[in-house]
A and B are shown apart, each in its own frame.
Chain A
Amino acid sequence: MRCGLAVALLAAQCSIAAASTSVPGDPARGAAIYDRCTACHALAYNRTGPKHCGLFGRRAGSVPGFDYSPAMAQAKFTWNAETLDRFLKNPGRTVPGTTMGYAGIADPRERADLIAWLRQATTESPDCRRH
């Protein structure tokens, strides 16, 4: 189902369809998708965007020393597979006013792969263990 192209009217149906057909993501494919993030992010240190080590279970906008937008700093949710899926689909719609000027990843499969990789990399990778 082409969720990325669905018009607003279909969006609700689309997300239900995506949820009901969701399969576990493939972290190996997710690693390559993370290349799209590395202009701004690294796992272990803050850059233009905040570091990603320890992402799961962390409150949004809470990495010490990172200068978040007011929108992200005041966000009241925690990062998990579901909130990441929503944010990465359309960052600006999920957190209006975010400084992450990135359109998002329309393909649910790609998001699932990326999130599967993030779950491993942000906890188990050598970069994150060291920090």
Chain B
Amino acid sequence: MIARINPFAALEDIGRRRFILGSGALLSASAVALLAGRPALAAEYGKKKGADTQSDVRILNTALGAELEAIAAYGVGAGSGLLQKPALDLALQFQGQHKEHADVLAKTVRKLGGTPTEAKARYEFPTDQLKTQADVLGFAAGLEKGAVSAYLGAVPLFRERELAKAAASILGDEAMHWAILRQALGENPVPAAFVA
């Protein structure tokens, strides 16, 4: 039995922490001392926190948009009639994990005072190129590979380091999906020592 973890657990109080810093009214004694008599610096401090949060929210929302598309893509794959067990079970399991990613991303955006991106009414997928089980698995593998790169590109941008850690946790999950899909396709599941 693998325990269910919440990679964003450390962030449970980050909205509040940010709010306290951002409001300026509830700064710690040392921060108050530091900023006392220097209103320009204090204002800059509050603004910087706000800008940092907005930047993190933008990154989270873009990741959320990509997760929502992945959920829809697995829906197309699972509903195509082209997947047989056990590939079908894998697709449904991976879709469920993307849903968990999307849920936690949306929750975190809300916690930071943002508005989570919503799923589009309609997605475009290259369905005319999906004719066999291998086509569907290859399509999914491509999405997962891209997702790994996208999270890798997001990790260093987070101003809040706990968010970087949480994004890396999702990256790990998507790298596992990618490897398993390659394995299912008869390809080398782990083609390199690094992802890019």
- Flag the segment in B9-17, B28-36, B55-63, B84-92 that touches A: B55-63
Are the CB atoms of B154 and A102 closer together than 8 Å?
A: yes
Are the CB atoms of B153 and A104 closer together than 8 Å?
A: yes
* Contact residues in B for A97 (Cβ distance below 8 Å): 58
Q: Does B180 contact A (CB under 8 A)?
A: no
Are the CB atoms of A35 and B62 closer together than 8 Å?
A: no
Are the CB atoms of A101 and B58 closer together than 8 Å?
A: yes
Point out the residue from B69, B152, B153, B157 that lies within 8 Å of A48, measured CB to CB. B69
Q: Does A79 contact B (CB under 8 A)?
A: no
* Contact residues in B for A42 (Cβ distance below 8 Å): 124
Instruction: Please count how many residues in chain A sit with their CB below 8 Å of the partner chain's CB atoms.
Output: 21
Q: A48-B69, A103-B157 are contacts. A39–B150 as well, Cβ < 8 Å? A: yes
Q: A36-B196, A38-B146, A39-B146 are contacts. A69–B58 as well, Cβ < 8 Å? A: yes
Are the CB atoms of A36 and B156 closer together than 8 Å?
A: no
Instruction: Please count how many residues in chain B sit with their CB below 8 Å of the partner chain's CB atoms.
Output: 26
* Contact residues in A for B75 (Cβ distance below 8 Å): none
Q: Does A129 contact B (CB under 8 A)?
A: no
Are the CB atoms of A45 and B124 closer together than 8 Å?
A: yes
> Digit string of B136-161 for contact with A (CB within 8 Å is 1, else 0)?
00000011011101101111110000
Q: Does B65 contact A (CB under 8 A)?
A: yes
* Contact residues in B for A37 (Cβ distance below 8 Å): 146, 149
Point out the residue from B61, B69, B147, B196 that lies within 8 Å of A99, measured CB to CB. B61
Are the CB atoms of B149 and A103 closer together than 8 Å?
A: no
Q: Does A29 contact B (CB under 8 A)?
A: no
Q: Does A100 contact B (CB under 8 A)?
A: yes
* Contact residues in B for A47 (Cβ distance below 8 Å): 66, 69, 123-124
Interface residues of B (CB under 8 A from A): 55, 58-63, 65-66, 69, 123-124, 142-143, 145-147, 149-150, 152-157, 196
- List 9 other contacts, CB 8 Å, given A35-B149, A45-B124: A35-B146, A36-B149, A38-B145, A47-B69, A69-B58, A102-B150, A103-B152, A103-B154, A103-B157
Can you identify 20 A-B contacts, CB atoms within 8 angstroms? A35-B142, A35-B145, A36-B146, A36-B196, A38-B142, A38-B146, A39-B146, A39-B147, A40-B66, A40-B146, A45-B124, A47-B69, A47-B123, A48-B62, A92-B55, A97-B58, A99-B61, A103-B154, A103-B157, A104-B153
